[in-house]
Amino acid sequence: MNSQNQNTIDVFFNPKSVAVFGSLRELPGTAFWVIKNMKAFGFSGSIYPINPEPAKYNEVMGLKVFSHLNECEGTVDLVVIITPPPTIPDIVRECGQKNVKAVIIMSEGFAEAGKEGEYLQNQATDIARRAGIRIMGPNTFGSVNTSNGLVTVPPYVDNEKLEKGGIAFCSQTGSIGPHQMPLSDWAYPLSKMCDIGNKCDVDETDMLDYFADDSETSVVAMHLEDVHDGKRFMEAARNLTSRKPLIILKTGRTEAGARASASHTGSLMGRDHIYDAALKQAGAIRVNTWRELWEVPKTFYYQSLPAGNRFAVVTFTGGQGVIAADAAADAGLTIAEFKQTTVDKLSAYFHRLGNNPVDVGPAMSDSRSQSASNPFAVVEDVSVIVLNDENVDCATITFHAGNQMITFFPEFLNMMDRITDGVSKPVNIWLYGTSLSAMEDLSRQFQSRGYPAYMDLDIAIKSLGYAAYYSKTRLDGNMV
């Protein structure tokens, strides 16, 4: 964490001007698409297309094409390169002459491809270092910043809308980004995103330092295959986790995974138990699946941290309550024992209530407690009682979505506002139902109101378990 690093990395996300080297033909993976995507996502800085045959194009999307960087007026902050590997050292040299600060080498065919590529990668890295240029990549899809519309990815993108939020994502695989994942359909609350690729310069530790200080980021999620420098990484991770949660999917856990990793990154196989202990010591949360890497940060982002691990859950059937209790135990949560006043209030509300997990099914099908206007009014009444019990630190509440219930969705949101009114405990939602599109729509709506919604009960509960764990390690560790 030094301001030098902060400034140099920030150019990858907040450049005022971007030059793009590569083909301007309208084919997937070209500079054409990088420029098209930047414009489509609303990036308002200057964009300079650079191509050795400017005469062939003259203009692209209203932008003048240059043959060299030194022809661009004014400064160029960030350069994106999608040209064949042998051309790249010279382009990086050209960047140095123009005082460019940051370069994304998107092309592949470097260290990951063999000796020849490794040589070119080292050459480009040396030139950049001497010129004071930071490199992201090679073999990367670059960076995304939801607050200024910077999206450097070269393939076609389905949906040019990204939700602005506080979760930063850093990955060692190119399977992230708006051209790879349904970020828009999820309305995923993203601050910034990057794929660090071959990590010839910018690595995971640089990104931890950057995100620790980034005021737009409150939660960091990271996919990691290896760590360049264990000591630096541990310092950066500890610093970050003393301020923000860090969720990590470290792959190559198993011998087979480590071998697969070595074969495509050339990185050394690390013994997993060492990573596991180190991540724990650094206060990071280690998840095991790709789905969890995306799902767990949502509870951290949308909700506060729990004061303890005493968990309550409101379900629609007793069977769901048992599944929830199992998931809670797995996640390190205990099923909260309600105070006697809560038990009394619940059983006065409906005679079969009073236990935790709270099965509201019987009360919902009882005509006396059924509201004519909202079949789920019971969920509100019961959840208010439960969340105000001081023995409860966190909770998951169930909703059901089908096409016939779409008219109730606005009321579901209001219910959650009333349920959580005056309560500073994390609450998330488990959502199931009969229509995928209705479920996805309700999920987006809940999240736009600040309530993390999950299609898997066990992942909803696991997320709260991690939140309780993080909350406790912060307190125990006396971190800054």
Scanning residues 242 to 301, which ones bind a second copy (CB under 8 A)? 251-257, 259-261, 263-265, 289-291
Q: Which of 225, 380, 381, 389 binds a second copy (CB under 8 A)?
A: 225
Give the other-Cβ count within 10 Å of 407's Cβ: 8
172, 205, 428, 445: which one contacts a second copy (CB under 8 A)?
172
228-267 burial, b for 16+ CB within 10 Å, e for fewer? eeeebbbbbbbbbbbbbbbbbbbbbbeeeebeebbeebeb
Shortest Å, Cβ 262 to a second copy:
9
- Give the one residue of 96, 109, 308, 332 binding a second copy; rule: CB under 8 A: 109
> Which CB atom, from 8 or from 299, has the smaller least distance to a second copy?
299
Q: How many residues bind a second copy (CB under 8 A)?
A: 83
Confirm or reject binding of residue 173 to a second copy (CB under 8 A). yes
The nearest distance, CB 381 to a second copy, in angstroms, is 19
Give which of 204, 220, 218, 181 is closest to 265, Cα–Cα: 204
The upper half-sphere exposure of residue 114, i.e. CA atoms within 13 Å in the direction of its Cβ, equals: 3
Number of helices followed by number of strands (H, E) in the chain: 18, 20
CB nearer to a second copy: give 244 or 286: 286
> Can the peptide bond before residue 357 be classed as cis, meaning omega within 30 degrees of 0?
yes
Of these, 17, 456, 472, 474, which contacts a second copy (CB under 8 A)? 456
Would you say 182 or 477 has its CB closer to a second copy?
Answer: 182
Q: In sequence order, what DSSP letters do the residues of 402-436 get, joined into one string? A: -GGGGGGHHHHHHHHHHHTTT--S-EEEEEEES-H
SS3 191: strand
Q: Which of residues 134-163 bind a second copy (CB under 8 A)?
A: 156-159
Three-state secondary-structure class, residue 142: strand
Least CB distance to a second copy at residue 319 (A): 2
Q: Which is nearer to a second copy, 192 or 462 (CB)?
A: 462
How far apart are CB 434 and a second copy at their closest, in Å?
4
Least Å distance between CB 382 and a second copy? 15
Q: Which of residues 39-58 bind a second copy (CB under 8 A)?
A: none
Residue whose token pair is 């999950």 = 454
CB 356 within 8 A of CB 338: yes
Nearer to a second copy, 43 or 141 (CB): 141
Nearer to a second copy, 126 or 326 (CB): 326
Interaction with a second copy in 358-417: which residues (CB under 8 A)? 359, 361-362, 365, 375, 400, 402-404
φ, ψ of residue 316 in degrees (nearest 5): -100, -15
What is the amino acid identity at position 53? Answer: E
Query: Please, which residue, 70 or 254, has the CB nearer to a second copy?
Result: 254
